[in-house]
Structure 1
Amino acid sequence: MNITLKQLRAFCDVAQTSSFTLAGRRMNLTQSAVSMLVRQLEDDIGLALFDRVKRKVQLTETGRQLLPIAERILGDLREVIDGAADLRALRRGILRLAVPQMLACSWLPPVLARYRVLYPDVALKMIDTTADRVIETVRQGEAEIGIGPERPTPEDVQADLLWQEKMQCACAAGSLLAQRGRIDWADVADAEWILYSDAFSGHLERTVWSGLSVQLRRTTQVRYLPTALALVGQGMGVTAAPAYAEPFGRLFGAVFIDIANPVVERRFLFYTKKGYELSPAAQAFRLLAGQKNP
């Protein structure tokens, strides 16, 4: 049995118009073509659907029982087609993001506000997490896309550069360091450090501390950057943070100052599952995000 949607439509149109000719006009087919489609359907199911008596077309008892089923099938198909059209036009859909907590409350809100203006009918599910969890959240399918600092990327994840962000030193507003407009890494080699990411700490050790031949003092370890900044503001140590976090540092009494020799930049990337087609909602967000750098 190989019933086609075209056969079902011919059956429904003939039943609704009681005419092969009128059904043909609806379908832009000849009367004979419609008749052939109905005959094929009858052959496929092994039952007559219409009585053809003196040029009159009437449903058989079988046809009357099958008509609501066929109409429901065609109606469901129209809903599928309309739904796909709505998804393509972003009149529906869901945007699922995984973003580090600090990005989620600094860089991201203006991007989402612009996205909402453009696509008001797309729902949002945002997972604000740690930078170290962004990739795994994408891998597990909890988020379709992730945005965060560069991390070791597994083979099944695609990573594309969005922007690079200069790292600065955060210190307490009342400290001696805060009086200086610029420092070198060597100036804070012996400082007490507040760390909020093992991956980033490892990056500092590879790119900074190993070159200075010093051992980083790990005095305090937290999970989130806002927590680290709050402790910095209390004079408990210093930390390194991306420049976009500076407004939040002020809230906690922390000051951001330039740090060089070497200048350290962090790459922020767009993470997706490799080999998976992005939804229209995610594609639109990716395009918009690429235009909105800190």
Structure 2
Amino acid sequence: MRINYDIHDLQAFVAVAERGSFRQAATDLFLSQSALSRRIEKLEEGLGVKLFERTTRRVQLTNVGQTFLVNVRTALDNLEDAVLGVADLAAHRTGTITLACVPSAVWHFLPQVLTRFSARFPRIRVRIHDESAQDVLNLVLGGEADFGINFTGAENPEIVFEPIYVEKYVLAMRRDHPLAKRRSLSWKETVDERYISVAKSSGNRSVIDAALAGVEKHPLISWEVNHVSGVLALVEAGMGVAAVPNLSVLPGRQDIVIGVPLVNPEIKRTLGLICKRKHSMAPAARTLFEMLVEALVKRPLTTLDEGDPG
């Protein structure tokens, strides 16, 4: 049987059944009695059954009508739940956000923003992929992450890149290193240091190599590690110094390892929020994205730009 009636017809049927009166039901629904009667007739014709026994004094459900009333109420309740579920998502009450970011974001500014977001929307689950810059870019491009925090992607035509701040590179060293009291260091002054570097496959290595291409004097690599975390572990062990982005020097370890700003040349990278172009974010993801923009774009950059030599 083809269904040729709509939700208003079902609501009219329930109103008449509950009120036992076309007149009272019509008043409740802000309809004329003739309009309400047409809806019930349309429903009965579509079903091929009689739903009401009508007398001059009262309207009563038939046996079929009583069974139908139970089913219609259930259907309307389920529909209402479905609509409210969508409204909940739109109002950020439930759902999941997937965020891809470089690890330094997790250590520094992401927890503060997530804490405020969670206080406003406690039933939203946030899934975080803390990965390398290339992996973050791939997750966003592939649609596996709603958006990302990354320092690459601005050159990709499929990516919208929202700059957060410019991060300078520092020379990471133990706090008891002879150069730790310096406000800044030129690359020439580091030539005699045992230098620890990330591997050539690293995005950080590419940034540093490009900046030092025309520099005559800079330190030779003594140790090479795949990830910045490994580099900093060797620095902490006293095996040498390393050029790393300022955010890589973790706040909880600055009693042991500090970063002194590097100059001549000064090396920078731009960290930003990335999302796929022409991709419509879910309301909750859009809200978190905007909270990050507001928190980070307006954040004072003095500490991040100048480093903290201690």
Question: Does the residue aligned with 2:214 lie in a helix, a strand or coil?
Answer: helix
Q: Distance in 2 between matches of 1:92 and 1:123?
A: 8
- The alignment status of 1:145 with 2:122, answered yes or no, reads no
**Count of residues in Structure 1 that have an aligned counterpart in Structure 2:** 292
- State the TM-score, normalized to the length of structure 1: 0.85
- The Cα shift of 1:162 comes to 2.5
Q: Which residue of 2 aligns with 1:173?
A: 175
TM-superposition CA deviations, 1:42-100 (whole Å, max 9, x none): 23333332232335322233322322222222112211222233233333333322222
Question: Does the residue aligned with 2:93 lie in a helix, a strand or coil?
Answer: coil
Q: Is the 8 A contact 2:204 2:244 kept in 1?
A: no
Q: Which residue of 2 aligns with 1:57?
A: 59
Q: Distance in 1 between matches of 2:213 and 2:198?
A: 17
- The alignment status of 1:220 with 2:220, answered yes or no, reads no
- The alignment status of 1:239 with 2:242, answered yes or no, reads yes
TM-superposition CA deviations, 1:139-166 (whole Å, max 9, x none): 4444322212224665544332222222
- The alignment status of 1:211 with 2:214, answered yes or no, reads yes
Q: Which residue of 2 aligns with 1:292?
A: 295
Pairwise CA RMSD of aligned residues?
A: 2.8
TM-superposition CA deviations, 1:204-250 (whole Å, max 9, x none): 222x1223267974831223x33321212223343333323434474
> Residues 90-169 of structure 1 correspond to what in structure 2 (within 5 A)?
90-151=92-153, 154-169=156-171
- Name the stretch that deviates more: 3-12 or 94-103: 94-103
- The Cα shift of 1:109 comes to 1.0
Q: Is the 8 A contact 1:173 1:233 kept in 2?
A: no
2:33 maps to a residue whose letter is Q
2:185 maps to a residue whose letter is I
TM-superposition CA deviations, 1:170-192 (whole Å, max 9, x none): 12334344343211234446752
Q: Which residue of 2 aligns with 1:27?
A: 29
Question: Does the residue aligned with 1:210 lie in a helix, a strand or coil?
Answer: coil
- The alignment status of 1:268 with 2:262, answered yes or no, reads no
Among candidates 171, 178, 185, match of residue 187 of structure 2? 185
Among candidates 259, 280, 293, match of residue 277 of structure 1? 280
- State the TM-score, normalized to the length of structure 2: 0.81
> Residues 241-256 of structure 1 correspond to what in structure 2 (within 5 A)?
241-248=244-251, 250-251=253-254, 253-256=256-259
Q: Distance in 2 between matches of 1:269 and 1:78?
A: 41
Question: Does the residue aligned with 1:105 lie in a helix, a strand or coil?
Answer: helix
2:276 maps to a residue whose letter is K
Q: Is the 8 A contact 1:182 1:257 kept in 2?
A: yes
